[in-house]
Every structure is written in structure tokens, then in C-alpha cells.
Amino acid sequence: MKLSVMINEGPYQHQAADSAYQFTKAALEKGHEIFRVFFYHDGVNVATRFGVPPQDDRNITVLWSELAKEHNLDLVVCVAAAQRRGILDADEAKRHGKDGNNIAPGFRISGLGQLIEAGIQSDRLVVFGD
């Protein structure tokens, strides 16, 4: 089955990013295809490389980055939601006159069209968070 995943909640306020990660990992282990993972609303905060959780806590950003690298996942961050929350890649930072970017490895910024495409191309779009 071809699946896409949407994450709407931030990484440390809610369980959504962790649950989506565990779901995605399990789906891949069962042989399902993950077409895209789309981070929206506060879910875009998963994509910052500047988060520093305590050493005895999981780093959900790193977990997603490693899973994406291992399985060639398309981790898409909504551009409008990201800009509102200060999540920028190199191109967006330059376009807005900022002196740096903070997007983590494996993530990319794009628009809502990527979410629409994910819904069309996938058998199921599984949503985590409100």
C-alpha cells in the first residue's frame, strides 16, 4: 500500500510527531511505500536543526532525518507554516534577507501542492495531530 503521512503538532508538546514516526517506521518494515511525509502547522517545528533536547531524551528531528536517509523519504515542510515559525532553508533565508537557515538534513520546504499531490498519489493519507 502507498501511504502518505501528515504531521500537524510540534515535536515536544504533543505525541503526534513520535506516533507518526513509529507508524512510518512500522509501515516501512511491513513493506508499505511511504510516498511523502508532510509537516504542517506546528508540525514544521520538527524540521529545525537547532533543537537540543536533553541527552536522556529522544531527538525526534534526528530520528526523522535518519529514517529519511535510510529509506529515501520525502520529508516536506509547508513553506507558509515554516516561515511563520522561523524555519528556513538556504533559499528562503536568502529571499527574506536572513543570515542563516535552520532546516535539518533530509527535510525540504515546499507548498501545499505537495500535500495535495500526496493525497492524490497515495492509497491513504494518515494524519497525526489536530
Helix (H, G, I), strand (E, B) or coil at 13: coil
Report the CATH fold assignment for 2-128.
Answer: Hypothetical Protein Ychn; Chain: A, (3.40.1260)
For the chain, what is the radius of gyration of the CA atoms?
Answer: 14
Marked catalytic residue, from 76, 78, 104, 109: 78
d(Cα 5, Cα 118) in Å, to the nearest integer? 8
Based on the residue annotation, tell me whether 78 is a catalytic residue of this protein: yes
**pLDDT by residue, tens only, the chain of 130 residues:** 999 999 999 998 889 999 999 999 999 999 999 999 999 999 999 999 998 888 888 899 999 999 999 999 999 999 999 999 999 999 999 999 999 999 999 999 999 999 999 999 999 999 999 8
Is pTM beyond 0.85 here?
yes
